[in-house]
Structure 1
């Protein structure tokens, strides 16, 4: 299977933010942005793999600045990491105020997609051809994020098996909560 560069599948989706996308605070609802992120990740992953792709996880959704009604929002997606059947798609979201031409970076996220065949079975995806320092950095960062996530999940699983009420109550001391057991 021939390696493909991130440039091969790099995808941008741009959409005007309309009033029906606004939340109760008048800003664009985070769910709208997440839906657009999922769409661009699908296209990017499908272009790289040449197959149908599904989202298996969404990591590090950081809402850095609000998106306003009337902004032109662009989702810039790139394959940052490839495993056997999985791909980590990095997404940068920028919003442009079309009246003032002010452009701001509003979100960053990483979606893990897997490629499937027509029977819904996982399939192998092409390796990623790393052509520059940015490609190498993004691939290495994805490896580190995966390792940290695995360590976190293992620690949380251990915490569940080692759970004692007294230990958890001690953890809550000095926090903004009240414990009233019935």
Structure 2
């Protein structure tokens, strides 16, 4: 497995200027367009950490906080928060810049989990993560809490599904 990598080694900034084809008739960028760019920025960050291909496994806590308008610049900041055996949580923050006034606002945030894929197209080990700052340490702790909650939720869902199968006699 590759040597551990620092958070700063894979931090990613991508930009996208919102164009008319990105928006609805009111001039607001569609959430799906923003989500596409979040996924792309997250994937680039994950690939920079793993130095191999990745696939999106899940998206958590997708929050739209402010609209993005045609003509504005989306700045997508992506950073590795946590690394598991084959997966990584990437946090992506979208800041919008009004290019005429310089005004900045927080438009969206999300946490995405990516799985590293080896040359055989199967999940592969990812390098460990070196946390460099107190912010990185906090993000790592929060990512671990989100992971724990996801696993607990999946377990509750499985139990509910099994209970439903038993009570209805379904296989």
TM-score w.r.t. length of structure 2: 0.91
Q: What's the counterpart of residue 91 of structure 2?
A: 90
| Aligned counterparts of 1:61 and 1:48: Cα–Cα separation in 2 | 22
Q: Cα distance, 1:155 vs. partner? A: 2.0
| Aligned counterparts of 1:6 and 1:30: Cα–Cα separation in 2 | 28
Q: SS in structure 1 opposite 2:109? A: strand
The structure number with the bigger radius of gyration is 1
Q: What's the counterpart of residue 151 of structure 1?
A: 152
* Match status 1:8 vs 2:9: yes
Runs (4+) off by over 6 Å: none
Q: What's the counterpart of residue 108 of structure 1?
A: 109
* Match status 1:58 vs 2:40: no
Deviation track 1:12-62 (CA, whole Å, cap 9, x = no partner) reads 111110111002443100111111111111111111111011111111100
Q: What's the counterpart of residue 31 of structure 2?
A: 30
| Aligned counterparts of 2:119 and 2:42: Cα–Cα separation in 1 | 19
| Aligned counterparts of 1:124 and 1:4: Cα–Cα separation in 2 | 13
- Report how many residues are paired: 164
Q: Cα distance, 1:146 vs. partner? A: 0.7
Q: Cα distance, 1:159 vs. partner? A: 3.0
TM-score w.r.t. length of structure 1: 0.85
Q: Cα distance, 1:162 vs. partner? A: 3.8
Deviation track 1:103-130 (CA, whole Å, cap 9, x = no partner) reads 0001110111111112101111110001
Point out where structure 2 has 5 or more consecutive residues left out of the alignment. 165-171
Q: What's the counterpart of residue 127 of structure 2?
A: 126
